[in-house]
Each structure stands twice: as C-alpha cells, then as structure tokens.
Structure 1
Amino acid sequence: MKTLITALLLSAATASYAAPVDPYGYKLPPSMQTKKKKAEPKKKAAPAVDYVGEYVNFGDWKDVRAFLDDVAARNGFNRDELNALMAQVRYVDATVQLVKPAPPGKPKNWQAYSKLMIDPVRIDAGVKFWNDNSEALNRAESLYGVPAEILVGIIGVETVYGRNTGRFRVLDALTTLAFSYPEAPQRRERMEFFRGELEATLLFARQSGIDPLSLKGSFAGAIGMPQFMPSSLMKYAVDFDGNGKIDLLNSSTDAIGSVAAFLVGHGWERGQGGPLVYAANVSPNRAWETMLNQGLTAKYRTPELTAAGVTATTPVPEQQTYGLVDLQNGADPTEYWLANNNFFAITQYNRSYFYAMSVVELGRAVRLARGGAPAPAVTSGM
C-alpha cells in the first residue's frame, strides 16, 4: 500500500477538473483543481517485474525447511512439490529496503499527504470507475451497508482504480520478508506475520487452481485493485460477479464486494447515518490529551468529550461513540476530529488516520464531481 505514494509522485498525468459546490459546505482542496488539461504522456509497456530477484536457494535455509515441513503436514501439500516451488523463488532486496522505517525527518503533514492522495487524476479516474461500476457499487451498498463513496475512496487510494497494483511476484516478496526481515522492533512478530501470509498464498493458489508464481502484487505481497494481503483475500474476498472465481486484479465487481465485506468484518455498522468524522475544537487546558492514541476505536460519548474540553463545530449524534483524531500539519496547527466506529473500521484496512481520512475525502470528492449529494462522510464546519 505504501508503494502507491511513490508511484503517484512519479505520475505526470493531470486532468481538467472543475470544483463543484458541496451542499454540506465542504471545501475541496486547491490540489483537486487544474486550469488546463495537459496531454497525458504515452505509456510504455510495463516490464514483467520491477525488481531484480537474487537466487539464494531458500530451500537450504533451516527456517524455511521447518516452515515447509509444517505447512505440508498441516495442509496436505506434497513436500517435493513445495521444494520445487521454493527453488524458483528469489530473494528481493527491494522489499527489505521498503519495509524499513523511514528515517527521522520532517513531521507528519496531513495537508501535504492529502494533496498526494486527493488529486485531479484520482478524482477523474474515480468518476469513471463509479460510472462504470454503479450497479456493483449500489448492490454492495445495499447488501453490506457501506456507502459507494467509501468503496470508491478505498480502491482509489490503494491503486488508483487498478492502475498501480504492483509487479512484484508475491511469493518472492513474502518469502523474503518472512525469512529475511530487516532488523527492527518486533522483527520476530513481523516475520511470523509474513510466514502466515506466505502460507495463505499457497492455500489460495491451490484453491483457485493457479500457479502461485503467477501472482503479482506490492512489495509487501498485497494483491489486486484493493491490495488485499493473502490472508484477507482468503477470509473476506467474495465472488461478487458470480462467475465462479475470485479475481481482485481484473474484476472491479469482485474488488467492490470484497472491500465491503472486509469493512463489515472489521466493525462497519450499517445505518449509523451522518458523517464519519466531525471537525472539533479543543480547549487550552489540554485535559483531552489523554483521549488521543487510545487504540483504533470509538470509545467516548459526547458528555465525556465535552467535559475534557472537546467540542464539535457542528451538532453530532449523541447516541454514537467517538474517538479523538489528530491530523498533524507540520509547523501549522494540528486538526482535531471526532470519528465514529465506521471511520475506525477503515483504519483496520490501513492503521493510519491519514489513510482513513484520505479515503473519506477522496470518496466525497468523486461523488461531488459526479454531481451527487448523498449523506456526507465528513463535516468540516467550514
């Protein structure tokens, strides 16, 4: 998922965009508008892979052999076939470098981040995606209770509607990270996570009748338009187009239904109504600071928030619970928001306030560009 930011920085395509009027007073960032339409550069044929894999004979590694023994015994795989498969897997240093924590540098800046994630290219692509997939989006909204604009926002943020799905072989990326994760806090836990994802990849490939080496994805092994990790694919992906197979790379319909199923499986509540987030003011006494970083959950009721000095800039439903979200803006003042449970369901997709807020705002911007005005996902008080 994180590869998308880099990919977007390299994108030179821009498109014309006229800012619509939002009936709820939400102001679109200037980055969503351009004065002139520029010609898109000619696309070059994408290489089969975007990295150089190194043969290291993973099959000789003690930990790999133990893993394969366990996977074969637990799942009924032929051990010789696993050996033959592992002989074709390559070590990819690029994945190791990309998972390393970013060096200390500039403070987090929501406004800068949002300009990358909510731009004319994504908005125009989102309008086309919504128009082309309106039936599937309406059906997913009806079945799962997740608004179309949230589904559009997630797929847009993840891969610009399938444009940037990654070209790493999933087995290469996952094996490298499962057995050669860089030195970092919780290294052992991260390696166990990727070993679980490697096993899920093998199971999915067998279940689907495909060559596991044919699966391509991100540097961390995420697959398809919605960038599902293999375990999420196994648990939440659905055959939403009814053709008898799950294809998150080529089927927009499967991607839409699968994202909706994932959100419901991670706490999305049907029928909450109203925005997912409300702009808030905080008092100088800073008693509210204890409400920050309390996990990705909405746990406070409005009387508790008010007592701590947090007030929404517009009325909020008092029957709901909220979490206090801080969006840092570098040297500029931090923004504070009250977020409900459905906002935090989005953070289960990517554990970042910036990510969830960009999903909300991109989906809303695409809806406005189409001329629609259903219930708002964000109330800014502007």
Structure 2
Amino acid sequence: MALPEVSDPQVLAFAAELAKNDGLVESEVLATLEEASVQQSILDAIARPAESKAWKDYRPIFISDRRIDDGVVFYGQHRELIDRIAGEFGVPAEIIVAIIGVETNYGRNIGRYRVLDALYTLAFHYPPRSPYFRGELRQLFLLGNDRLAYPIDQLKGSYAGAMGLGQFMPTSIATWARDYDGDGRIDLWNSYPDIVASIANYFVEHGWERDAPVTVRAVRDATARPVERTTLEPLLSVQQLEAWGYAPTAPVDAERAATLLTLEGPETEDWIIFRNFYVISRYNRSPLYSMAVWQLSQAIARGAAGDRP
C-alpha cells in the first residue's frame, strides 16, 4: 500500500516509529494522521488553563448551587450503581460524583474536539509538551478501533484529548479504565458501569486510602512559622504542623502524614491535607482542582442526605 501524502518529517518519523516498535502498519497510521487537522483554538485553550486563576476566582467555577443540585440529582439517578462500586473499591460515592461534576458537569460538556485533532495539534505543534502528547497519540493508536466506544477518528473530547464523562487520556484508559459491564469495550461516554468503575479504579491504583481523611481546615496561630511546600505529598505530620502553629479544626490522628496548603480566597485559608488529597491531585496536579473536588463532594453528600439548607 502506498504511503499517504504526508510531508511533515515529525509525522513521518512518528508513523515509522509506531511501525517499528509497536507493530502497527505505517501506511494506516499515516492515512489516519492525514485526516487530522491543526486547531488554533486548541493551542489558545492550553495557553490559558483555569488552574492559573486564584482560588477566589477558581472556586465559583465548580462550586455553585446549580452544580451541587445537579450532582445530587446525578447521584440519585445512579445511586445503586455508584454505591455498589464505591463499596467495592473503597472510594466514597460523593468523590466519584464530584469528579464527573468538575470534569464534565455530569456529562453535559464532554468536549467538542475530535481527540485525533487535539492530540495531533499538541503532539506536533505545541513544543512545550510535545513528547507527552506524542505519547498519548501513540497510545490512542494502540487502543485502536476495537477497545473504545467509537473508532479513533470519531472520538470527541477536550482540547487536550481527554475523553468521556471522567475525562481520561488514552494512557489512563489503557492503564486504569475498566470494562466493568463486560461487553468487551471501554465506553466512558455511555456505559455508567465503565465510567464509575474506571474513576474508582484510578483512585485506588494511585493509592486511595479507604475511610481515611482528605483534608481538614486549620487555624493558624499568630506566631506560626511558614511552611515551605514543594509537593502535595504529605511529608510532615499533623503533630509537626500543630507544633508549628497550625491546629486542625476536627479530630485527627496526630501521627498521620500531612502537609499544609494555603489558599488565597476572600481571606487566607489554611488546610491540613492528607494522602487522599494528594491522590485526587493525580487526576489534575493543581491543588485548586483537588480542593474543588473535595468541597463539591461534601456539598453533594450533604444534599443527598437532605442536610443542605
């Protein structure tokens, strides 16, 4: 089969590499890539992520009366399934619902871009992260047309190539997604068993601790020492943070691993965060994202229990 008319040396080298290392047919890879197109709006979007905002501006995007109420409704519609999977995996139901709420507004906004176009654009026209996106484009081809809900040239997702209600990248699908309904495909668009189990499994595989705390608000003493933090990993302890002037506002094991997160809202907020907060950040590295998921989850849990005012 003759090779399609592709002239970009980066694309040609990519297809040749997939043929050599992964056993794919070079001409078929090139034929698919020939149909991809560069989208300037994707390059514009990745240059201004929401996570660059301050907490006071970021929080209202994801924590509103409408999103809380919609989360309660979504949970009610799928409660038996979500509770069963939550019990099996040890990830709270409200956390799973909040992820779907933050990522896609409960499926209302799963993305308007062809995944192929998104990954092609970022793999070959966004130098700051081109190695990462080439890896994701490679994984998309390795998943192929048989393992997902749609052929790869028909998949729709975010500007970064994330897919389905839980917004999984191709590598996340290959590594952590679950075919929970057992139909031979991973359908993160239409199969709620696959969607919910995939999110729960993602958390478990990244170290979620069943029945363990996520975060607790802290009261800062006037003489508290600054806490320098370069990671969300809990490398200190509650006891150490208390000694430094940060007292938890709820009972928590003094020996539990923790670190401090300070957010600038209308007022400065200090939070003691634990391993499970760090696990949420494996979904999105921004601490603002993790806090939004946590606070939305708690509001949904209160609403589902009938405790919301």
Same fold (TM over 0.5): yes
In the alignment, the residues of structure 1 paired with residue 250 and residue 27 of structure 2 have an alpha-carbon distance, to the nearest angstrom, of 64
In the alignment, the residues of structure 2 paired with residue 156 and residue 192 of structure 1 have an alpha-carbon distance, to the nearest angstrom, of 30
Q: Is the 8 A contact 1:208 1:245 kept in 2?
A: yes
Using the TM superposition, give the Cα deviation of residue 165 of structure 1 relative to its aligned residue in structure 2, in angstroms: 0.3
Amino acid at match of 2:195: A
Q: Is it true that 1:279 corresponds to 2:217 in the alignment?
A: yes
In the alignment, the residues of structure 2 paired with residue 324 and residue 59 of structure 1 have an alpha-carbon distance, to the nearest angstrom, of 51
Pairs within 5 Å for 1:77-156: 77-101=24-48, 108-156=53-101
Q: CA RMSD in A?
A: 2.1
Residue in 1 aligned with 2:178? 238
Q: What is the CA deviation profile of residues 301-354 of structure 1, one whole-angstrom value per residue up to 9, with x for unaligned ones? A: 12211222221123222242112111112xx43201001101110011011121
Q: Is it true that 1:349 corresponds to 2:280 in the alignment?
A: no
Q: Is the 8 A contact 1:288 1:305 kept in 2?
A: no
Q: Is it true that 1:310 corresponds to 2:249 in the alignment?
A: no
Structure 1: stretches of 5+ with no match in the other structure: 1-56, 374-382
Pairs within 5 Å for 1:181-192: 181=126, 187=128, 190-192=129-131
Using the TM superposition, give the Cα deviation of residue 250 of structure 1 relative to its aligned residue in structure 2, in angstroms: 1.1
Q: Is the 8 A contact 1:225 1:252 kept in 2?
A: no
Amino acid at match of 2:301: R
Q: Is the 8 A contact 1:58 1:89 kept in 2?
A: no
The change in CA–CA distance for 1:207 and 1:325 in structure 2 (over 3 A counts) is same
In the alignment, the residues of structure 1 paired with residue 61 and residue 5 of structure 2 have an alpha-carbon distance, to the nearest angstrom, of 38
Pairs within 5 Å for 1:210-225: 210-225=150-165
In the alignment, the residues of structure 2 paired with residue 148 and residue 109 of structure 1 have an alpha-carbon distance, to the nearest angstrom, of 28
Q: What is the CA deviation profile of residues 64-95 of structure 1, one whole-angstrom value per residue up to 9, with x for unaligned ones? A: 11111111112211111112111111111111
Using the TM superposition, give the Cα deviation of residue 101 of structure 1 relative to its aligned residue in structure 2, in angstroms: 4.6
Structure 2: stretches of 5+ with no match in the other structure: none
> How many pairs were matched up?
302
Match of 1:204 among 129, 139, 143: 143
Using the TM superposition, give the Cα deviation of residue 152 of structure 1 relative to its aligned residue in structure 2, in angstroms: 0.6
Match of 2:169 among 229, 232, 236: 229
Indicate the structure whose relative CO is greater, using CA pairs within 8 Å and at least 6 residues apart.
Answer: 1
Match of 1:259 among 184, 195, 199: 199
In the alignment, the residues of structure 2 paired with residue 301 and residue 316 of structure 1 have an alpha-carbon distance, to the nearest angstrom, of 11
Percentage of pairs with the same residue:
38
Residue in 2 aligned with 1:25? none
Q: Is it true that 1:326 corresponds to 2:266 in the alignment?
A: no
Amino acid at match of 1:296: L
In the alignment, the residues of structure 1 paired with residue 5 and residue 59 of structure 2 have an alpha-carbon distance, to the nearest angstrom, of 41
The change in CA–CA distance for 1:318 and 1:68 in structure 2 (over 3 A counts) is same
Residue in 2 aligned with 1:8? none
Q: What is the CA deviation profile of residues 219-253 of structure 1, one whole-angstrom value per residue up to 9, with x for unaligned ones? A: 01000000011110111110122333210011222
Q: Is the 8 A contact 1:138 1:148 kept in 2?
A: yes
